[in-house]
Amino acid sequence: MRASKFVGLIAGLALSSAAMAQFVETEPNDSKATANVFGPIGVASTVTGNSILSTGVGLDYYRLDVGAAAPGIWRWTSTLSTTTPGHTASIRGLGQTAAAPAPWLPGMVVGVPTTADNTAQTGRTPAGLTTRENAWYSFGRAHSMYYRVAGAAATTADYTTTFAAVPVTPITAGTFQPGAITINTNAQGHTTDTEVWVYDSNFNAIVGYGNDDAGVNSGGSVTAGAQAFLVRNYAPGTYYLALTNFNMANNQASPSDDNFRTGTILDFPDMVVNSSTTANLNVAFTISDAFGNSLQTAATKVNGFDIVWAEFTVVPAPGAFALLGLGGLAAARRRRA
């Protein structure tokens, strides 16, 4: 395999990645352990290489360190092009050892990552094209990922992978009171095999706040099914819901009340991927709290690899603020007495 070159360039999205950087591929780089480490990667960065399966393995592994951007949700794409199509581009991940099922302790026990080199996402070929496209989401923080290009006997020409990013605006999904809140994709007018994960106001994945297959219903009993159902406690604040179809992967292992706890996860934090190329999927959902507040939100996964993002807020009811104020006043009077 010949030398590869990365060129980084800021291009119009106010990303704070390095404006220009070049890296040369060195061998061996046929596994995660020997991956070339390159970065920071920014919008319009490119990598050019050559991967032919003749003898041995035609694999190029890279650990890409993506540069920081403005805080928010960003959808990144990497597009591999070549004059001899046939390469496979993939985002790599890990396996997980499943947590013992414990629906009576929702979110309290999670799985353990393994060292397996799993495929988190295989690049798709957009209709009418020969390029291979991968996509993932990040949150403005610098982040890392493993990216692999696999060649074949016929892939004799160089390949070039180009990176791009666009900001994503989440849909609004309502306001709810603190305490137990349910996110439900069952009986919402579709049969999509859904998956969800909740992020805090700083776009950090909350440990245990995810579900793939329904595990525990509002009454505490186990419910089997391929549609996500998540009950968790929430303090006041702003939260972000990531919603798509199977498989969605961040670096968080599955909680013990998930009925599917062996999905692929990622090696690093601050990014999330969907592995499915299926488009135009209905992923409508309902969020409800224990005080009777409930809102169904229409949502569609438009493109392959898309994740739908929704923002919801948790605030005490106005009466709760008043009670807190009266309680504080009474306490002050007792102190003065």
**231 pLDDT more than 80:** yes
H or E stretch including 329? helix 318-336
Are 76 and 137 in contact, with CB atoms under 8 Å apart?
A: yes
CA 35 vs CA 62, 209, 220, 275: distances in Å: 5, 32, 45, 22
pLDDT band for 216, please (50, 70, 90 cuts). Answer: low
Q: Is the pTM of this model over 0.75?
A: yes
Q: Which residues contact 39 (CB under 8 A, 6 or more apart)?
A: 21, 64, 65, 66, 67, 144
268 has a pLDDT exceeding 50? yes
Domains and CATH numbers, the chain: 5-168 (2.60.120.380), 171-318 (no CATH)
Strand partners, 96: 113
Q: What is the DSSP string of 82-121?
A: ESS---EEEEEEB-EEPPPP-TTSTTT-B-EE----EEEE
Return all residues near 109 (Cβ < 8 A) that are at least 6 apart.
99, 100, 102, 255, 256
- Mean pLDDT of the chain, nearest integer: 87
Whole-angstrom distance, CA of residue 36 vs CA of residue 60 = 9
Quick one: tokens of 175? Answer: 């306001």
Query: Who wins on pLDDT, 6 or 311?
Result: 311
pLDDT over threshold 60, residue 30: yes
Residue 153: pLDDT over 60:
yes
21-30, 147-156, 286-295: range with lowest mean pLDDT: 21-30
Q: Looking at the predicted structure, is the pLDDT value of residue 270 above 70?
A: yes
When pLDDT is cut at 50, 70 and 90, the band that residue 218 belongs to is: very low
In this predicted structure, what is the pLDDT of residue 224? 66
Q: How far is CA 332 from CA 154, 293, 319, in A?
A: 81, 34, 20
The whole-number pLDDT of residue 61 equals 97
